Structure 1
Amino acid sequence: MPKTLKNLIKFICFFGIGVLLIWLFTRGISPEQWSQINTAFRGANYWLLIPTMIIGIASHWFRAIRWKFLMKPLGYQPSTINTFFAVMVGYLVNLAIPRLGEVTRCGVIAKYEKVPADKLVGTMIAERAVDLLCLIFLMILTVLVQLETLGAYVNDEIIQKIGDKIAHANVTQLVIGVIILIAIIALIAWLLRRFAKSKIAVTVKNLARGILEGILSIGKMKNKGWFIVYSILIWACYLSQVYIGFYCMQETSHLGIAAALAVLMIGSVGMIVTPGGIGAYPPLVQKTLQLYGIPYVIGFAFGWIIWAAQTALVIVLGLISFIGLAVLNKAAVKETTA
């Protein structure tokens, strides 16, 4: 099957999931509630979205700088602007096809900064691992700080459901799964030894070596403190976006940092579930805000306003980055050949 067709099928499937979630979430809304939601939309102060977008740009810029810290131990120092453009192009592609954005941004840096793509994939994996740890830490902190408000919700909606799945899992199926996984790993190892000098085996080994080297780059950094600082800045920006966003609506303006932490924590799960959080982010935000006494229609409107602002920012910056990469690097080529 052609690669383009595969990507198209992926886009249709994931976009379809998002649309399905939107339909499931909105099908029970009555005409009276729609009227109240429209009123909430009209009453929002959209000017306050401007500072949230500026903070959003800062978070992406900090991410670009942090990514450079992972490349430095490998002997590469790409320009910050190219790295920023690559990050934004990756986010834009992710809106269409999940996880393809990570590959795309590695490809952008490989093309314009001549950094081996296999090593970049390793740094990207390391970066995502750090973000996952940050999210887990944030979840634990948020629940501990607001145990009375969030404890029951997290237990019922996350922990208990995971526990039920594990409890109902068939032991035989688990054993078979583990055996199959071990067999696959053993088969791959045997094939690599059997055809060690073949072109495919050499390519796979080089790719694995490059990825491992990229992942280990986090331990070779000389400026680990700054890497941590930029990681904190990235998540502080995410939190600030939600907190300032509360002031867009009078009904949410009284909410504090604690509620913003909860929205960020649970909303981040929505961003992971579907491309760009379409169909998942708004309802999760709405349900979270209900825990703080925010009416359904207000939570619905707020979730969609914040999601739309973030998505619009990614689309605009992504398109600008596409153009910026071509223009900026074309000029650089002319300077070097002049």
Structure 2
Amino acid sequence: MKFSSKKIIFTTLPIALGVFLIWYSLAKLKPEDIESIKNSFKTANYWWVACSLLLGVLSHLSRAYRWQFMLDPLGYKPKFANNVMAVLVAYLVNLIVPRAGEIARATTISKYENIPFEKAFGTIVSERVADAVMLLGIIGLAFVFQTELLSSYLFPEDDGSTGYTYYILGGLGLIGVIFTWLIRKSKHPFAIRIQNFVTGLIQGIVSIFRMKKKWAFIFHTFFIWIMYVLMFYVVTFALPETTHLAFGAIIVGFVVGGLSMALTNGGLGSYPIFVASALTLYGIDENPALAFGWIMWTAQTVMVLFFGGLSFLVLPIYNKEED
């Protein structure tokens, strides 16, 4: 009963938070703001949105193909169609229960390809290591591009502001080094969990370079994340206000939007707010920035619902015919 209650809270709390954020973001809008956002939706160039969806499909296909490089060494060669549909079902499940998609993906491929769940899930965890490294790299890029912007906001009247910012970053780096040293020496359960996480991360990275087709795996990893960034980038051309965004703004908006996905189910409510707050730092008015966030989130969500739902329905039919 206790476990069931925790599970219900874990499932419903992000959804409730997302609904609250939607209400909050709409409640503070004036009637003219709502009309402005509606007008952005009406006049948006949806050809670019369609282009974004195409890039999203390519990323999913690449992810499904990359998965095979993890399964091959274990002696399994599932049908590519099943790989693709398992990946799409995972995205669909993540909209309902955060982080349950990985379990759903392993369960799906186990059911239709007779791959043991533990082995399938292990390959997915290893994939996530590569994705975590890519995300950390993009976050690092975001901080690099954000440095000058932060300087202008923190020290608007100081010509030597950039230097002060580097001192702050250097201080944070020193704190990070000290924190790392303390974690390595500590025997506290929390510290041990961090140690085990870092160890697993390193082992996962090393295992990738020991893979038979490591360069193909690395290529697809880069390809997937380039598609993710391009999905965000091309939608900026859908609205005239966001057409001329600098590369730094694209990276920062992408990272902020990605982080919002961890806050609520699929970024429900949080994605448009987070992305809009990032774009306003680059001089975009709040209403078109919010419209951009909603257009981006809606397109992604509709794609996941359509292809994920379709995969859920087609999987048993496809595999029955194959039998």
What TM-score does the superposition give when structure 2 sets the normalisation length? Answer: 0.81
Kindly indicate whether residue 260 of structure 2 is the aligned counterpart of residue 270 of structure 1: yes
Shift of 1:10: 3.7
Q: Secondary structure at the match of 1:251?
A: helix
Which consecutive unaligned segments of at least 5 residues does structure 2 have? 155-164, 176-182, 194-202
Give distance in 2, aligned partners of 1:215 and 1:260: 28
* 1:119–1:214 contact (8 Å) kept in structure 2: no
Match of 1:231 in 2: 221
Match of 1:336 in 2: none
Match of 1:11 in 2: 11
Give distance in 2, aligned partners of 1:60 and 1:41: 27
**Could you give the per-residue CA deviations for residues 227-271 of structure 1, whole angstroms, max 9, x where no partner exists?**
110011101111111111011111111224332222111111011
* 2:141–2:251 contact (8 Å) kept in structure 1: no
Shift of 1:219: 4.9
Shift of 1:12: 2.3
Match of 1:290 in 2: 280
Give distance in 1, aligned partners of 2:88 and 2:132: 19
Paired residues for 1:42-81 under 5 Å: 42-81=42-81
Shift of 1:23: 2.6
Match of 1:92 in 2: 92
State the AA in 2 paired with 1:147: T
Give distance in 1, aligned partners of 2:233 and 2:272: 16
Kindly indicate whether residue 212 of structure 2 is the aligned counterpart of residue 222 of structure 1: yes
Shift of 1:45: 1.6
Give distance in 2, aligned partners of 1:218 and 1:32: 53
| Higher alpha-carbon deviation: 29-38 or 281-290 | 29-38
* 1:71–1:217 contact (8 Å) kept in structure 2: no
Match of 1:254 in 2: 244
* 1:243–1:256 contact (8 Å) kept in structure 2: no
CA RMSD of aligned residues (A): 3.1
Size of the aligned set, in residue pairs, is 291
Change in 2 beyond 3 A, CA 1:117/1:255: same
Paired residues for 1:108-257 under 5 Å: 108-149=108-149, 179=188, 218-257=208-247
Give distance in 1, aligned partners of 2:152 and 2:21: 24
* 1:121–1:214 contact (8 Å) kept in structure 2: no
**Could you give the per-residue CA deviations for residues 7-61 of structure 1, whole angstroms, max 9, x where no partner exists?**
5554322210111222333332222222222222222122321111111100011
Change in 2 beyond 3 A, CA 1:218/1:76: farther
Q: Secondary structure at the match of 1:273?
A: coil
Change in 2 beyond 3 A, CA 1:297/1:76: same
Q: Secondary structure at the match of 2:259?
A: helix
Aligned-residue sequence identity (percent) comes to 38
* 2:20–2:269 contact (8 Å) kept in structure 1: yes
Give distance in 2, aligned partners of 1:103 and 1:287: 33
Residue among 295, 310, 317 paired with 1:305: 295
* 1:37–1:298 contact (8 Å) kept in structure 2: yes
* 2:129–2:204 contact (8 Å) kept in structure 1: no
* 1:125–1:215 contact (8 Å) kept in structure 2: no
Change in 2 beyond 3 A, CA 1:216/1:106: farther
State the AA in 1 paired with 2:212: K
* 1:263–1:288 contact (8 Å) kept in structure 2: yes
Which consecutive unaligned segments of at least 5 residues does structure 1 have? 167-173, 185-212, 334-338
| Higher alpha-carbon deviation: 64-73 or 298-307 | 64-73
